[in-house]
Amino acid sequence: MSDWPELGTLVQLIVKTWSGDGVYKGIVLPNSGPNLVTIKLQNGYNISFPESYVKSFEILPESPEIAVVSDNDHIQDKKLPLIYLIHTGGTIASKVDYRTGAVSATFEPNDLLDSIPEIKEIAQIKVLKLGNMWSDDLRPRHWNKMLKATEKAFSDGAKGVVITHGTDTLHLSAAAMAYGWSGNGQRPPGRIVLTGSQRSPDRGSSDAAENIIASVMWAANGPQTSGYRDTSVVILHAKSSDGNCVVLPGCASRKFHSSRRNAFQSINQDPLAYITINKKEITIKMSDFEPFEARFESSKPNLFDEKIKIAEFIAGPHLQASLVQSAIKLDFNALLFHGTGLGHLPISDPEDDSIENIKLRTILEDYCNQGGIAVVVAQTVHGPVNMDVYSKGRQQQEIGILGHKSFCPPGSALVKLHYLLSTNKEIESVKDKWTLDLVGENPSFSLD
């Protein structure tokens, strides 16, 4: 259409349909195909029509229903517990750029307060903004910023904190909060929740509101943190439908689906609790387990050494010795392998046709003999690393590769390795502590 308005314009269309003329109001988006017009409706969904179906359109002034309104002067009940909302970014803190239809991390923390007024009935809310970052851009320095932010919140008298975070690496930051606060056998002064959303807050199908409500509820009214499994928790939807959120141990959780709202699960252990949201009634139901004995409270977390470098590799047909050798030459502090099956690497050549496997084994032998730290985790995510079952696994143990008997999830293992290297870079120290259950990441189960 030659006179079609520019992207981002609010329009009202009159469109021919089989049941008669229809009226549609929305934001102009890039056309989804040839000879189509596309708009984003106010419920968050996109809709397209053939140009020939559009009888007329009208350009509208900016709609107050779509415009973001932010009021920093929030009136709050001082009798309620104080909760810090620590804002890092991600989908939960994003909105659609209506010029392109793409989601960008530009939502501000007070926008969340304005759009979810229910949380002000649960707690006093203070907002601390660390940034507007996609979670795949986060580095260990950002873990330290979160740890320092939680320390500030607790020193200000907060009963708990809620960290809003992108979901893609949320499990890594949750593990970092667990090891940082409790890796030395202590516990934080209050509750730490990490939450996110699979759909941006301005979409009609967004899961952001209930995830925030459930997270604030746990931060304000959950059980006292013991320092074991519950130092940090992950709270998101328990099902695709609304009304139920799940509380997962931050030391042992993982994103399992790229788009579903119930994208997270706990690994090698059960959830801690479930939170039901039924209109204004919010209830916490704890899972069936023995309460944890509370550890000694600490007012300061241990920070991660930001100079630590860990090289990660995926075991498979394209794992080459030259890649591992490059990491060794570049002075990486440790090697972490995502092993196949029970934790295996391609280091055997039974048919005498894969010399690269022998090269990899030789490099790892030399590296470990010289005091290098190599760890294998389960590529399968669930289940243990068990290098006793097959001869290859026993050979890996003889080489000096760590990981045997561990139930620690791969993501949590990466953070655990970084934590141990931050506290003591000696191989013997890492060997001694790798099989320990520091924060609930490595529960004792049978290897069968």
pLDDT at 66 over 70: no
d(CA 291, CA 228): 10
The SS3 assignment for 153 reads: helix
The pLDDT assigned to 446 comes to 63
Question: One of 88, 167, 169, 231 is an active-site residue; which one?
Answer: 167
The pLDDT assigned to 97 comes to 52
Active site residue 255: yes
Active site residue 168: yes
Look at 77 and 137; give whichever has higher pLDDT: 137
pLDDT in tens, 143-190: 999 999 999 999 999 999 999 999 999 999 999 999 999 999 999 999
Structural domains of the chain ordered from first start? 10-59 (2.30.30.520), 82-297 (3.40.50.1170), 310-434 (3.40.50.40)
The pLDDT assigned to 70 comes to 32
Question: One of 38, 40, 88, 91 is an active-site residue; which one?
Answer: 91
Q: What is the pLDDT of the chain when averaged over all its residues? A: 88
Active site residue 167: yes
Which pair of structure tokens corresponds to residue 102?
């793409």
Question: One of 38, 40, 126, 168 is an active-site residue; which one?
Answer: 168
- Per-residue pLDDT, averaged over 12-36, amounts to 83
Whether the Cβ atoms of residue 235 and residue 211 lie closer than 8 Å to each other: yes
**Which residues make beta-bridge pairs with 97?**
102
d(CA 117, CA 344): 51
d(CA 218, CA 307): 34
Question: One of 95, 126, 159, 255 is an active-site residue; which one?
Answer: 255
d(CA 135, CA 375): 25
The DSSP code sequence of 280-320 is: TEEEEEE-SSPPPPP-EE-SSPPPP-TT--EEEEE-STT--
pLDDT in tens, 357-380: 999 999 999 999 999 999 999 999
Active site residue 423: no
Is the entire prediction scored with pTM above 0.75? yes
Q: Of 34-48, 64-78, 169-183, which one has max mean pLDDT?
A: 169-183
Lowest mean pLDDT among 16-20, 204-208, 229-233: 204-208
Whether the Cβ atoms of residue 268 and residue 249 lie closer than 8 Å to each other: no
Which pair of structure tokens corresponds to residue 306?
């930001």
d(CA 367, CA 401): 10
- Per-residue pLDDT, averaged over 92-115, amounts to 55
Whether the Cβ atoms of residue 150 and residue 162 lie closer than 8 Å to each other: no
- Per-residue pLDDT, averaged over 326-334, amounts to 97
Look at 50 and 150; give whichever has higher pLDDT: 150
Lowest mean pLDDT among 123-127, 190-194, 307-311, 408-412: 123-127
